[in-house]
Amino acid sequence: MIECREHECMTASTSIVWFRSDFRLADNPAVDAAVAAGGPVVPVFIWAPQEEEEWPPGTASRWWLHHSLRAFAKELEAVGSQLVLRSGDSMRILVSLCKETGAKNVFWNRRYEPACVGRDRRVERALLEAGIRTASFNGALLYEPSTIATRAGTPFKVFTAFWRACLSAKKPPGPAPAPRRLSSPCRWPTSLPLEELRLVPPTGQTGRLSDWWKPGTVGAWTQLDRFLKEGLSAYDEARNRPDLPGTSRLSPHLHFGELSPRQVLHALQCHARETGLSEAKWLRSQFVAELGWREFAHHLLWHYPHTRNAPLRPEFERFPWRSDKKFLSAWQTGRTGYPIVDAGMRELLGTGWMHNRVRMIVASFLVKDLLISWRLGAEWFWDRLVDADLANNTLGWQWTAGCGADAAPFFRIFNPVVQGMRFDPEGRYVREWVPELAGMSTRWIHCPWEAPQSELRSAGVSLGSDYPFPIVQHRIAREVALQAYLNLKPRGGQAPR
C-alpha cells in the first residue's frame, strides 16, 4: 500500500485549493476542480489582512473567522484531509507551497472586493510564471457581476431593473454535493496552529458572541432549517419587526461562504414544492429579492470600486459633514436618548448583529440627525458586525445617505420615534436592549422625555441619570439636514435628486 501511494504521489498532479472564504465542501467549484484533477488536494488558508488595504477584517469578523476555520478544519478531517494555515504574503506563500508539495494546480473561488481582485491578479501572474496552472471560480454569487448589464451594456444602478435582468437570465446551476473523500499528499506541508493567527480579539471586545452564533456549515444549515420551518411563511410581514424573530439571520454564514446562495435557493425551491408554491411565485418572493440585493451590492462594488471609500454620486463629496466625537461616541455606545436607536446600537455591541430595519434607522440618525459622515458609520459597522461585507456595507450606508445607487433620497429622514412606534409597537425590542426603560409603558417607551413625571417615577427612570435626554431634537436636526442638502447644488444646477 505504501509503494502504491508513493507511486500515486509521483505521477498525479497535486492541487492546492486556496481558501479565503467559502468555507464549505459542498457546492464549492474550486474543490470540485481539484478533485477532478485527479491527484492529492491541499486545502490552504493564508491570513493576510494587510492585502485588503483599508478594509481588513474587523473585530467581530475575526472572531467569526477563527471559529469558522476551526469548524471547516473538522469538516476536512471527516473526508480524510486537513487545512494548512499560513500567515504572510499570499503570492510568496502559494509559490513556496507549490514547490513544497509539487503542486501543478492552484484553484480558488473569486472574491469581488477591489483589493482582493488586484491581489488575485498578481498571484495569478506569479503562479503562471512559475509554471503553475491556475483557475478561479464563482462560488459566492448567483450571477457574475460582469455578466449582468443593461441593454446598452452598462452597469445597472437601479435594483428593480437589475433583479429583473437576473431573473430573465439563465438560471444558476443547482448546488453540487460535497466530495466523500479528498486525496492526501504523501507529506503534508507545515501548518500554523489556528491560535497563532491571533484572530480572536482580547476578552471584552466581542461581547458574548458564542451565545448567539455557531459559525460553520452545521450552524448555517441549522439556521436555514429553522428559518424555513418557522420564519419563511411570515417573512413578508415580520421582516421589518425587530421585536419578532422574522429574519433569516443567514448573512454571516453567506458572507463566510459556509452556505452558498445556490444552496439557499435550492432549499427554498424544495420547500416551495413541499408547500405547493409555484416556482414563479417563490422566485419573486421578498426573501429571494433579499438575495437579489446581495447580488446588486456586489454588482455595484465590482463596477464602481471607488465607492468603498467615496460616494457614487460625486456631488456628495462636498457635503458639509460634522466632526463631532461626542455625538459619534453617543451613537456608537447606544446613548443618544432615542430608544430605538440605542436598542439597535446595543444589540450590535452585544451580538455582532443588528436587525435590518434598525440598521436603516440608526444609519439615518447618524447621517441626517447628527450630520456625521456615512463613512464613519460604515467603519463602525465594519468593525462590529459578524456579517460585515464590503459590498453590502457600502450599499447600505450609501443608500441611507442618499449618495449611492438606487438610494433613498436624502430628504427621506426617518423619525426615530415614529419608526419605533411602527416597528416595535409594544416596545419589546427596546425593553430587551435598553433595560433601564423596561418599566416604561408602551405609550411612552419610544419618547420617554415626553412622559409625565409620574410615569417616569413609576418606571424608576431618572432622565439625565439612568437614561440620557435626546442629544439632538429631531425636528430641528431634520431642518438643518435639509438645508445642508439644499445647499448642495451643482454649479448652475439644482439640488441633487
Residues 102-131 as b or e (16 or more Cβ within 10 Å = b): bbbbbbbbbbbbbbbeebbeebbebbeeee
Q: Are 142 and 265 in contact, with CB atoms under 8 Å apart?
A: yes
Cell of 406: 438606487
Catalytic residue among 52, 293, 315, 379: 293
Catalytic annotation present for 444: no
Closest CA to 113 of 261, 313, 298, 254: 298
Catalytic annotation present for 397: yes
Q: Where are the beta strands (DSSP E) in 219-276?
A: none
Catalytic residue among 382, 397, 433, 444: 397
Which SS3 state, helix, strand or coil, does residue 109 take? strand
Give the up-direction half-sphere exposure of residue 251: CA atoms within 13 A in the CB hemisphere.
Answer: 23
Separation CA 296–CA 155 (nearest Å):
10
Q: Are 69 and 83 in contact, with CB atoms under 8 Å apart?
A: yes
Look at the block and give the residue holding cell 410581514: 237
Order of strands, edge to edge, in the sheet holding 133-137? 84-87, 41-47, 14-19, 103-109, 133-137
Q: What is the DSSP letter of 26?
A: T
Run of H or E residues at 106: strand 103-109
Residues 257-266 as b or e (16 or more Cβ within 10 Å = b): bbbbbbbbbb
Catalytic annotation present for 6: no
Q: Are 397 and 378 in contact, with CB atoms under 8 Å apart?
A: yes
Catalytic residue among 100, 144, 240, 356: 356
**What are phi and psi for residue 19, nearest 5 degrees?**
-95, 135
Catalytic residue among 321, 379, 415, 455: 321
Separation CA 269–CA 264 (nearest Å):
9
Separation CA 31–CA 11 (nearest Å):
20
Residue ranges in 25-102 assigned as alpha helix (H): 29-37, 59-77, 90-101
In DSSP notation, 151-196 reads TTSPPP-SHHHHHHHHHHSPPPPPPPPPPS--PPPSSPPP---GGG
Burial class (CB in 10 A: 0-12, 13-18, 19+), 384: buried
Catalytic residue among 163, 282, 302, 374: 374
Q: Are 156 and 148 in contact, with CB atoms under 8 Å apart?
A: yes
Catalytic residue among 52, 100, 144, 290: 290
Separation CA 173–CA 250 (nearest Å):
21
Catalytic annotation present for 487: no
Closest CA to 216 of 177, 257, 251: 257
Residues tagged active-site: 290, 293, 321, 356, 374, 397
